[in-house]
């Protein structure tokens, strides 16, 4: 029993360290008012699931921040398509994921500007 608890505690600590690293990395590039670009890679036939990638323009380059965002927000990655899997319909998916990211990074859901590609 103690070994299981210890293994769970270790896994939780490792996850927390990964999340904090991704948070620091994202904060190097993102500041309030920056635009985050969202590209929908796939939509299921039912329309209830989408796979998206997130990008940002920085120093003349386009950076893919999908993996960092998925770690920080605990979103599942679609490894085949290389994007974040989001379920649901009837809402603006770009607005949803970018405001969630802004809330986690800046404690303000309007700190980042969502842009759809």
- 93, 70, 92: which is closest to 81 by C-alpha? 70
Instruction: Provide mean pLDDT across the span 13-25.
Output: 91
pTM assigned to the model: 0.88
- Contact by Cβ (8 Å): 85, 48: no
The per-residue pLDDT for range 30-57, each reduced to its tens digit, is 999 999 999 999 998 888 999 999 999 9
């Amino acid at each position: 029993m103690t070994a299981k608890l210890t293994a769970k505690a270790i896994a939780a600590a490792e996850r927390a360290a990964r999340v904090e690293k991704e948070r620091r990395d994202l904060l190097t590039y993102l500041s309030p008012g920056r635009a985050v670009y969202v590209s929908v890679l796939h939509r299921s036939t039912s329309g209830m699931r989408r796979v998206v990638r997130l990008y940002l323009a920085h120093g003349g380059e386009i950076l893919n921040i999908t993996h960092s965002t998925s770690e920080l927000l605990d979103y599942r990655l679609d490894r085949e398509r290389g994007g974040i899997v989001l379920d649901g319909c009837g809402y603006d998916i770009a607005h949803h994921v970018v405001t969630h990211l802004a809330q986690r990074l800046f404690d303000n859901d309007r700190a980042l500007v969502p842009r759809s590609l």
